[in-house]
Amino acid sequence: MSESNLPVQAIRWLAAENFGPDGPVLRLLDQTRLPGETVYLDLVTVAEVWQAIKRLSVRGAPAIGIAAAYGVCLACRDTGKRSFSEVMENCRGAAEYLATSRPTAVNLFWALNRINATLDKLDSAWARVTDPDRDNPAGWVLKQLVQTAIAIHDEDRRMCHEIGRIGAELLRDGDNILTHCNTGGLATSEYGTALSVCFTAQDHGKQLHVYVDETRPLLQGARLTAWELMQRKIPCTLICDNMAAHVMATKDVDAVIVGADRIAANGDTANKIGTYNLAVLANFHRIPFYVAAPSSTFDLSIGSGDRIPIEERQSEEITEGFGRRTAPIGVNVYNPAFDVTPGNLIEGIITEKGLIRPVTRAEIERVLQVT
């Protein structure tokens, strides 16, 4: 891979052997500053991680989960010489707090459940711990939690590459792809989900062109996806969200590929607001509509999409986007961050375990190897 094609490192854990001012740090690429500035945030508290997730400095379902896992690790940083039980209480409280940052992306809860399972194991293992670890419960707990967080990070990296490999087989040289929001390395650990399909197709020598929805109201497509595609030198064309139907009708779009924040047991899929529009339009124009997501994005405890909680965000994101007022003061605003695409509008879901096609409950369970 050439230097210009190196993946974005949106999340980095900076380890340290000691606590205090020089203790461990979670470094995040502040995505609210892209594409104009490349600014990194060095976070040292759980509250800072919560704020970074809430304000979308880190975003994308897999990346949110990874950041939250490392965020719980930071709970060990300020525990000093407290007892083991106090350290554990601090960590469990951190996990509970981080779970309140954003409600829709299931990867957040999947990662925190992994962290909580590790904490459960540590409870029973502490009795067998000997010196010098016993004299430093915060350090011992941190070491175990970081191993879990790194495993989550590495697993997502492998899943994204496998999604790319499977999805790239669906594309032909010269295809025009339409995508929405941001699903690349900024939203995950490395290659992404929907964009991983494009990146991997490029690695295999296929020439693609991508139409990029701007993605109102926060312009993740314009600010982030266009930036990532240009970094990779993949030809792309930025369009307003309301141009998608015209583009499908006149520009020979071969496939629509998007990501996901939560997928119900029947295949109904929550993704960035505006995705449902694209699925309806793609269905009308007989263009295959694909979702690319790791198995960790499935929530099989939810039977259908009407049970997926939809986050509503501040009205200012619409009325005063990027600091400039564009609507009358006092106007009523509805600002859902996500919508739900029915599974019957989805041609296939590309996962690291295989392509789910047709999108049915039975096929989902078969591909995901649900027992």
CA pseudo-torsion sign 269, 272, 276, 282: negative
Predicted confidence at residue 222, as pLDDT, reads 97
Q: What is the C-alpha separation between 57 and 142, in angstroms, rounded?
A: 24
Predicted confidence at residue 134, as pLDDT, reads 86
Predicted confidence at residue 19, as pLDDT, reads 46
Predicted confidence at residue 189, as pLDDT, reads 85
Which residues of the chain register pLDDT less than 70? 1-8, 16-22, 78-81
Q: What is the C-alpha separation between 332 and 318, in angstroms, rounded?
A: 11
User: For 245-289, how does the pLDDT look when each residue is reduced to its tens digit (9 = 90+)?
Assistant: 999 999 999 999 999 999 999 999 999 999 999 999 999 999 999
DSSP-derived secondary structure for 19-33: -GGGS-EEEEE-TTS
> Is 261 marked active-site?
yes
What residue spans define the domains of the chain?
3-160, 170-367
Predicted confidence at residue 8, as pLDDT, reads 64
Architecture of domain 170-367: 3-Layer(aba) Sandwich (3.40)
Global pTM reads 0.91
Architecture of domain 3-160: Up-down Bundle (1.20)
User: Which one is catalytic: 213, 261, 268, 299?
Assistant: 261
* Residue (of 109, 82, 79) closest to 95 by Cα position: 109
Name the residue type at position 167: G
User: For 201-221, how does the pLDDT look when each residue is reduced to its tens digit (9 = 90+)?
Assistant: 999 999 999 999 999 999 999
Predicted confidence at residue 113, as pLDDT, reads 96
Please report the beta strands in 61-200, taking only residues with DSSP state E, as ranges in sequence order: 176-179
Q: What is the C-alpha separation between 369 and 371, in angstroms, rounded?
A: 6
Q: What is the C-alpha separation between 89 and 95, in angstroms, rounded?
A: 10
Residue 358: asked if its preceding bond is cis (omega within 30°), the reply is yes
